[in-house]
Amino acid sequence: MFFILSLVPGASMGWLLILLTLFRVTSCAVNSISADQSIRDDETIVSANEMFELGFFSPRNSWDRFLGIWYKKIGSGTVVWVANRQAPIANSTGVLKLTTEGILILSNGTGPAVWSSSNSSGPPKSSPVAQLLDSGNLIVRDGSSDSPENILWQSFDHLSNTLLEGMKFGMNLQTGLNRYLSSWKSPDDPSPGTFTYKLDPSGFPQLILRNGSVVLYRSGPWNGLRFSGFPQLTPNPVYKFGFVFNQSEVYYYFELLNSSSPSRLVLNEKGIAERFAWTDQSRGWILYSSAQTDDCDTYALCGAFGTCNIANSPKCQCLKGFVPKSLNSWQVGDWSRGCFRSTELACPEGKDKFMKHSGIKLPDTRSSWFNRSISLAECKKICLKNCSCTGYATLDIRDGSGCLIWYGELIDIREFNANGQEIYVRMAASEVDDNLGNSGLRRRVEIIVGAAASILLLLGVTYVCIKRKRGENFCGYGRESPNEDLELPLFDFSTIASATNQFSIQNKLGEGGFGAVYKGILKNGQEIAVKRLSETSRQGLIEFTNEVTYIAKLQHRNLVKLLGCCIEVDEKMLVYEFLPNKSLDCFIFDQRQAVLLDWNKRFVIIHGIAIGLLYLHRDSRLRIIHRDLKAENILLDNELNPKISDFGLARTFGGNETEANTRRVMGTYGYMSPEYAIHGLYSVKSDIFSFGVLVLEIVHGRRNRGFSHPDNNLTLLGHAWTLFKKGRPIELIDESIKQTINFSEVLRSIHVALLCVQHNPRDRPDMSSVVMMLGGESSLPEPKPPGFFSDVISLEGNSSGSKHAEISANELTISFVEPR
């Protein structure tokens, strides 16, 4: 600049102003900066075709300064990305600099950094450059090429409230990077608001819009053409779109059909996802479409097994074969409690059928299973064999391929006039049978069938009584209903004895409160695990029947599978699928084995246990409280996926029950919640306490039971809470995994665990909230002190000692007994 002035003798102030102006324009034409170069508050860089500009801006009615990217050629001032959303600069002293390590650093003048493109630095790069591309993507590359292998960082991986052409709206399944939208706090405040719109990978992926942790809207699953809940997503003159789902990535994207007619998707400050299209300078941006179109897009408006149709009055109805859970609430317009079956299913007798529903938005897929390669007919067979399967549909409507299966309640269904889908809902056969010509014929058939059923039932009861009298095998005889046959395979004692090599010590896998567990191989080559009730076991026929009754009715990928059982004379045995990696405690509490479970595997295990508990508490038809959740009862399959086992102490809740009381408190020291151990009160919050303990053990690698620390007399729970309050939770992490951790996941897991072990059960989150918190990025509440904070556990008994602890020989199970 000064060199140019020296070539103009006698340059006037006017010429100086002109040259300054030219210099300013030249600086704006630059689209990149190199290492050790910077951009100050009054400087910008512009993409090559002048579509986008990067620099500092202030929102309306604010003096705060933000570094952002906005449209320049059209819609001037429309911001699409903001760097320092959580740390605005209070004046015009901001500087953006690129370091030799290839890191963008935003600072307040000479002060500390308020934002950077990376949390860690590496060795100097050969020639790092920060460049604003014509797509609106700010990249940091090493070298002259902007090919993917040279890109060190890019703004397209860190979305604000806007989705542009070329952005990936979804997850990198290899790294865990989740690209999602978060709203501005207000039209004049780019700070992160409470609304997020992100792809949820649970079950079959779908886009979910939340306010904090509360689900407001979901797109439904991708069906090959569009998202199931977004029928208006059709071929159009503005953009084309697609969905990528493979082993590495899952994301939605769109591409413009005309670069001169931009379009953008925005999550606004009110929590509405809207698409805008550019028209011309006179009309500017126009609203092109919206994800939420009417009340029926409100998540779960009509509750479980309810369906919403905006053209109906009332808009909510129960699916055919279902009736409202609360007729009074339904009549006053509160449909949130949903519907339940008017006729119970016949499962596991295999007599259920499926009712086809057309033109709908498919239910929430977070509790679903899918397979891309099987046909719809095979899908039906798989669903019919699984009592927990409530419905199925094709995965790709273009060719009818693939299988999508739902477990538990069907939630958030709505009807469409066009571009809806088909789903097959599991029903009692009587609800689906509409093939009879007239009611008279139907009635005659009902009489015949009823008479035949009565005769068969009489014969069946007689046969069972004779078998029981003879002491022969009988498996699945429920104490709650003497005629309830769970149809589990029956194993002869001789078959199991042969499979386990006569219960040899070489086949013994371990021993618990029920008895010994043996590995066996059946004649067909199938590997099994056999739990054999020991003569000295504190658990007896009640626990045995309990396990058979509950687990036989449960089918979930995170629950162990019961294959059959045997009662012959004095023998009581349960036969399970064999899981070669045994139980979780064999890994996390063994220094040699602990290294085999890096953080990624441990987080998968934590999430899998949470999903399994959510199924037990909310999605299974029995609503089960496990009551003995611990590391020994988490089995690991070939791929180290967790499966919850041992339902001997489980209990069910029905109707509106939320808690129950027992005089016989049984569980495991170190995992039991205070209200259960001391007062005998148990609920879903008891399991959640146990889950929190388990998560802290997985993170720390040591048991809560018998935990000691040289600096205090606290339990693992008290120690974890103390470190958390001091801002030192990292010290809790197992040394064997510190090199593999994802800091944000570990810290969130510790935080969630401390919320789960709070002393008061009312303060603990439910399991659905736990699952969302583990997978989310929203702020979490501060945890209160945990139960059993110190290593001295008071039973709060009276002076006469009305309660005392009785500990079993293996120190695993304790029973608090009320004296007579």
pLDDT at 433 over 90: no
Say whether pLDDT at 439 is over 70.
no
Q: Would you say residue 292 has pLDDT above 50?
A: yes
CATH architecture assigned to 471-577: 2-Layer Sandwich (3.30)
Euclidean distance between CA atoms 534 and 653, whole angstroms: 30
Domain 585-817 CATH (choose: 3.40.50.300, 1.10.357.10, 1.10.510.10, 3.40.50.1370):
1.10.510.10
* Four-way CATH pick for 31-158: 2.90.10.10, 3.40.50.1820, 3.70.10.10, 3.90.870.30: 2.90.10.10
Is pLDDT at 682 greater than 50 in this prediction? Answer: yes
Largest Cα span, the chain: 122
Instruction: Report how far residue 93's alpha carbon sits from residue 64's, in angstroms, rounded to the nearest whole number.
Output: 11
Residue 323's closest CA among 337, 311, 313, 334?
A: 337
Average per-residue pLDDT in the chain?
Answer: 81
Q: Give the count of beta carbons closer than 10 Å to the beta carbon of residue 73.
A: 14
Peptide bond into 348 cis (omega under 30): yes
| pLDDT exceeds cutoff 70 at 455 | no
Q: Which architecture does CATH list for 159-293? A: Orthogonal Prism (2.90)
ω into 187 cis (within 30 of 0):
no
Residue carrying the six token digits 């019919």: 384
Compute and round to an integer the Cα radius of gyration of the chain: 31
Burial (CB < 10 A; 0-12, 13-18, 19+), residue 170, is: buried
Choose from 380-394, 700-714, 786-800 the range with maximum mean pLDDT: 380-394
Q: How far is CA 261 from the centre of its chain?
A: 38
Q: What is the DSSP string of 259-297?
A: TTS-EEEEE-TTS-EEEEEE--TTT-EEEEEES--SGGG
CA-closest candidate to residue 300, choices 347, 253, 366, 353: 366
* Least reliable range by pLDDT among 149-163, 216-230, 697-711: 697-711
Beta bridge partners of 241: 254
Helices (H), 472-540: 493-499
Q: Return d(Cα 127, Cα 150) in angstroms, integer.
A: 11
Q: How far apart are CA 324 and CA 330, in angstroms?
A: 7
pLDDT average, residue stretch 145-150: 74
Say yes or no to pLDDT of 457 above 90.
Answer: no
| Pairwise CA distance, residues 815 & 807, whole Å | 7
Which residue carries 């510790």 as its tokens? 750
| pLDDT attached to residue 483 | 35
Q: Does the annotation place 531 within a ligand binding site?
A: yes
The reported pLDDT for the residue numbered 707 is 84
pLDDT confidence band for 562 (50 / 70 / 90): confident
Q: Which of 23-37, 275-289, 339-353, 621-635 has the lowest mean pLDDT?
A: 23-37
Residue 588 confidence (pLDDT): 93
Using CA atoms, how far apart are residues 221 and 362, in angstroms rounded to an integer? 7
Half-sphere exposure of 230 (CA within 13 A, CB side): 25
pTM higher than the cut 0.75: no
CA distance 489 to 530: 14
- Beta pairing partners, 194: none
Mean pLDDT along residues 479-483: 34
pLDDT score recorded for residue 659:
63
Q: Which residues contact 513 (CB under 8 A, 6 or more apart)?
A: 537, 538, 539, 648, 808, 810, 812, 813
What ranges do the domains of the chain cover?
A: 1-27, 31-158, 159-293, 297-432, 471-577, 585-817
- Higher-pLDDT residue of 809 and 93 is 93
pLDDT for residue 535: 61
pLDDT value, residue 681: 85
Distance CA 458, CA 610 (A): 44
210-256 pLDDT, tens digit per residue, is: 999 999 999 999 999 999 999 888 888 889 999 999 989 999 999 99
**Distance in angstroms (rounded) separating the CA atoms of residues 371 and 349:** 25
Whether pLDDT at 81 is above 90:
yes
Give percent above pLDDT 90 in the chain. 47
Active site residues: 628
Domains 159-293 and 471-577 share a fold: no
For 129-147, what is the mean pLDDT? 87
Share of residues in the chain with pLDDT > 70 (%): 80
Q: What are 585-614's pLDDT values in tens digits?
A: 999 998 888 888 999 999 999 999 999 998
Whole-number Å distance between alpha carbons of 118 and 121: 7
> Which tens digits make up the pLDDT trace of 643-656?
998 887 878 765 44
CA distances from 493 to 24, 535, 731 (A): 91, 16, 51
- Per residue in 570-580, pLDDT tens? 788 889 889 98
3-state SS class at 60:
coil
